[in-house]
């Protein structure tokens, strides 16, 4: 369609986007005009009232309006060509600094009144404002009446550049972009698409911003659920082609384990065994909190298949986690004296290793298979695949799970998730799955000791970490950002890692991990940490889908107020996996009463369902922009907890739509079908259309 072609135009087709700026946009995942339109702000700010020099608040953004007595000075001999202007009033001084900006001298003229807006920092007795915006008093008052969009950035790309690019793209958006019918919009009180698009980036006011967000949240749920429904096999319940004997074998294995299973674990494995012996193919979700013991359930199900002469596979989201699963499974088989062949298949294997793995999969009917997305490559052929287990399923999506099932003769499907989702929401998100909940934690686990502190505690925290490392343990430090960013005041992994190297002794090795790294580099860093070749790992939330490091006993989470509580709970679950006592330190970058209440919830409970519920009660009306509780299911804006009502309505609309027009062939659904094609991408061919 015409609008799709225009939206597919490269970002460089917009004015002012040269090769260097284009690369910066690529770094944030923006390649086309359509991409920039859907690159929504991560937050919004309302500019503060103008204050005097005596009322400036360090570590916050401030606005000061003053008459300039003299022009800024510029050091033209410096590499940075820094412009400096000192503002003074009744014994108070604020130093304004602009880097690489000699033009400031001609912009700020003596005798003029200007508003300077920016973050104030304090170094010894002097206050600084670096890279402040410059406005006239009248312009600043206009800005104060609006919500200013704040975008996620990369080094070299400014918020102003993104705003300018978005504004240019918005000028040219076509009117034919609406894809939801008027009936759907009316029933659900949803605004028109173009209004939503403009008010996500340039909101008229807070109410318009919320209205726009609701439209896109609904859309995210709508397309996710629509894809899920369309990837279901045409027959509602497939016939079970596999023959399993009695459950005695698994019962004997459970009795021989070095620890007792919880009642919830026993109940779950019994449900799985019953499913695999029923007339229909199993499609079940195991939902268990962090540390509830889902992996041993998966291994027992795999061994049940092998004992009955069938192959079973477990698919992990990362290479390192797949290797760890393979090692644990191998150790379990050795301890129980089980002779089944174990195959590892990941993208990092050599061509020779992959060929050897393929040969075993075609030859051995009772192979135990562990891998990553490499398990669903075209070259992989299974001899008798009876069970597929996807670990942390939300990292793959329903479509990949369906692709995997085509590799066998409709194998049983088992999905494992550590995301604490209330049952009513889980039924919507996993509509085609039966649900088992592991709601107990093994008794041998020591509860993690938690504390919520401010930044004044940091030095004490470092000393405690060093003492834990001296005892042979390891430490995680979580930062919200990858690198220093304009408009983002949180800690970032790159600078933080360098600072730590000056604080800790040389013999303590420190490394950093973030999502922009290549898979090979991430694997190497995690393997070094797993082997204790690195003692401190500074990471973004990419560690959420981490490996099991029993030796890690301390986690420090910087700017904890910036994360949803459910996400903090998931992060905390990376420690407390060994026999030693573990600790989690939640450090607040901003002292706010509401943040204290939110984070205090983590001190009260280790129950993920309780924590998610309490977080919702403490949310403010605008919190959904700054705080994401659920970063799963590939949602950009939607939060499965906070937006549960919109999720339910989207589910109802998908049901109505497919009942009336299963193939989306009606004329009024053609634009919707085209947008669905864009949403599904390469996996569109898997949809039953």
DSSP alpha helices (H): ranges in 418-457?
Answer: 423-429
CA distances to 23, 131, 149 from 134, rounded to whole Å, are 28, 9, 18
Q: At how many degrees (to 10) do helices 608-617 and 565-572 cross?
A: 150
Q: What is the mean pLDDT of the chain?
A: 86
Read off the pLDDT of residues 598-613 as tens digits, 9 standing for 90 and up: 788 887 777 777 787 7
Which range among 217-221, 252-256, 270-274, 291-295 shows the weakest confidence by mean pLDDT? 291-295
**Residue 375 confidence class, pLDDT cut points 50, 70, 90:** confident
Instruction: Give yes or no for a contact between 83 and 71, defined as CB atoms under 8 angstroms apart.
Output: no
Read off the pLDDT of residues 655-675 as tens digits, 9 standing for 90 and up: 999 999 999 999 999 999 999
Can you give the pLDDT at residue 569?
A: 87
Query: Cα–Cα distance between 445 and 260 in angstroms, integer?
Result: 13
Query: Cα–Cα distance between 689 and 671 in angstroms, integer?
Result: 15
Instruction: Give yes or no for a contact between 553 and 582, defined as CB atoms under 8 angstroms apart.
Output: yes
Can you give the pLDDT at residue 546?
A: 62
**Residue 403 confidence class, pLDDT cut points 50, 70, 90:** low
**Residue 4 confidence class, pLDDT cut points 50, 70, 90:** very low
Which residues are registered as beta bridge partners of 538? 477, 512
Read off the pLDDT of residues 256-284 as tens digits, 9 standing for 90 and up: 999 899 999 999 999 999 999 999 989 89
Q: Cα dihedral sign for 453, 457, 461, 464?
A: negative
**Residue 3 confidence class, pLDDT cut points 50, 70, 90:** very low
**Residue 155 confidence class, pLDDT cut points 50, 70, 90:** confident
Of residues 315 and 628, the one with the higher pLDDT is 315
How many CB atoms sit inside 10 A of residue 252's CB? 10
Read off the pLDDT of residues 455-479 as tens digits, 9 standing for 90 and up: 889 999 999 999 999 999 999 999 9
Which pair of structure tokens corresponds to residue 678? Answer: 């864009």
Which range among 12-16, 414-418, 483-487 shows the weakest confidence by mean pLDDT? 483-487
**Residue 249 confidence class, pLDDT cut points 50, 70, 90:** very high
Average pLDDT over residues 135-140: 95
CA distances to 81, 114, 156 from 76, rounded to whole Å, are 5, 24, 22
Helix (H) or strand (E) holding 453: strand 449-454
Can you give the pLDDT at residue 434?
A: 85
Read off the pLDDT of residues 439-449 as tens digits, 9 standing for 90 and up: 887 766 788 99
Report which of 651, 460, 447, 431 is spatially closest to residue 556, judged by C-alpha positions: 460
How many CB atoms sit inside 10 A of residue 77's CB? 6
177-186, 436-445, 563-572: which is most confident: 177-186
Q: 228 Cβ partners below 8 Å, 6+ apart?
A: 398, 429, 431, 432
Is the pLDDT reported for residue 236 higher than 80?
no
Of residues 685 and 28, the one with the higher pLDDT is 28
Can you give the pLDDT at residue 263?
A: 94
Query: Cα–Cα distance between 236 and 233 in angstroms, integer?
Result: 7
Can you give the pLDDT at residue 408?
A: 65
Is the pLDDT reported for residue 193 higher than 50?
yes
Read off the pLDDT of residues 489-525 as tens digits, 9 standing for 90 and up: 678 899 899 999 999 999 999 999 988 888 788 888 9
Query: Cα–Cα distance between 610 and 613 in angstroms, integer?
Result: 5
Query: Cα–Cα distance between 341 and 359 in angstroms, integer?
Result: 12
Can you give the pLDDT at residue 16?
A: 87
Average pLDDT over residues 390-400: 58
């Amino acid at each position: 369609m015409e609008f799709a072609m225009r939206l597919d135009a490269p970002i460089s087709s917009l004015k002012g986007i040269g090769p260097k700026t284009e690369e910066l946009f690529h770094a944030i995942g923006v390649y086309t005009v359509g991409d920039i339109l859907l690159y929504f702000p991560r937050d919004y700010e309302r500019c503060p009232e103008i204050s005097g020099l005596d009322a400036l608040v360090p570590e916050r953004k401030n606005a000061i309006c003053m008459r300039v007595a003299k022009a800024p000075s510029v050091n033209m001999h410096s590499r940075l060509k820094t412009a400096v202007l000192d503002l003074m009033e009744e014994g108070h001084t604020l130093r304004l600094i602009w880097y690489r900006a000699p033009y400031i001298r001609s912009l700020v003229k003596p005798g003029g009144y200007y508003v300077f807006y920016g973050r104030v920092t304090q170094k010894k007795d002097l206050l600084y404002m670096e890279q402040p915006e410059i406005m006239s008093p009248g312009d600043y008052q206009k800005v104060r009446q609006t919500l200013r969009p704040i975008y996620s950035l990369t080094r070299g790309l400014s918020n102003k550049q993104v705003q300018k690019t978005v504004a240019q793209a918005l000028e040219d958006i076509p009117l034919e972009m609406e894809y939801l019918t008027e009936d759907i919009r009316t029933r659900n009180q949803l605004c028109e698409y173009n209004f939503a698009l403009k008010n996500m980036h340039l909101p008229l006011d807070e109410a318009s911003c919320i209205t726009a967000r609701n439209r896109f949240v609904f859309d995210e749920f709508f397309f996710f659920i629509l894809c899920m429904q369309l990837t279901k096999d045409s027959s509602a319940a497939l016939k079970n082609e596999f023959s399993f004997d009695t459950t005695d074998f698994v019962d004997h294995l459970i009795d021989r384990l070095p620890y007792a299973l919880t009642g919830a674990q026993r109940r779950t494995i019994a449900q799985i065994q019953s499913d695999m012996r029923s007339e229909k193919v199993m499609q079940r979700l195991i939902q268990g909190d962090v540390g509830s013991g889902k992996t041993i359930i998966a291994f027992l199900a795999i061994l049940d298949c092998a004992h009955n002469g069938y192959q079973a596979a477990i698919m992990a989201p990362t290479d390192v986690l797949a290797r760890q699963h393979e090692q644990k499974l191998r150790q379990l088989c050795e301890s129980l004296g089980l002779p089944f062949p174990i195959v590892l298949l990941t993208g990092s294997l050599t061509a020779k290793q992959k060929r050897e793995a393929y040969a075993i999969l075609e030859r051995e009917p009772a192979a135990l298979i562990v891998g990553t997305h490499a398990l669903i490559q075209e070259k992989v052929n299974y001899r008798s695949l009876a069970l597929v287990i996807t670990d942390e399923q939300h990292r793959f999506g329903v479509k990949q799970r369906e692709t995997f099932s085509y590799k066998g003769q409709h194998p049983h499907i088992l999905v494992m998730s550590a995301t604490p989702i209330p049952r009513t929401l889980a039924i919507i998100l996993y509509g085609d799955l039966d649900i088992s909940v592991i709601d107990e934690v093994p008794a041998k686990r020591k509860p993690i000791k938690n504390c919520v502190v401010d930044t004044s505690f940091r030095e004490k925290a470092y000393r405690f970490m060093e003492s834990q490392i001296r005892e042979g343990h390891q430490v995680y430090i979580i930062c919200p950002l990858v690198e220093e960013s304009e408009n983002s005041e949180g800690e970032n992994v790159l600078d933080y890692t360098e600072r730590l190297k000056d604080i800790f002794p040389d013999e303590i090795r420190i490394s950093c991990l973030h999502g922009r790294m290549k898979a090979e580099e991430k694997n190497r860093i995690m393997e070094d940490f797993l082997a204790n070749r690195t003692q401190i790992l500074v990471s973004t939330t990419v560690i959420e889908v981490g490996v099991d490091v029993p030796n890690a006993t301390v986690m420090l989470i910087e700017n904890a107020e910036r994360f949803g509580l459910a996400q903090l709970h998931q992060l905390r679950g990376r420690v407390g996996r060994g026999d030693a006592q573990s600790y989690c330190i939640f450090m607040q970058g901003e002292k706010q009463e509401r943040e204290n209440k939110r984070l205090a919830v983590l001190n009260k409970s280790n129950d993920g369902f309780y924590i998610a519920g309490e977080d919702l009660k403490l949310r403010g009306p605008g919190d959904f922009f700054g705080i994401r509780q659920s970063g799963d299911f590939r949602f950009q804006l939607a939060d499965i907890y906070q937006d549960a009502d919109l999720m339910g309505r989207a589910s109802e609309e998908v049901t109505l739509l497919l009942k009336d027009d299963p193939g989306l062939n009606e004329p009024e659904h053609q634009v919707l079908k085209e947008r669905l094609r864009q949403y599904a991408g390469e996996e569109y061919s898997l949809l039953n259309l």
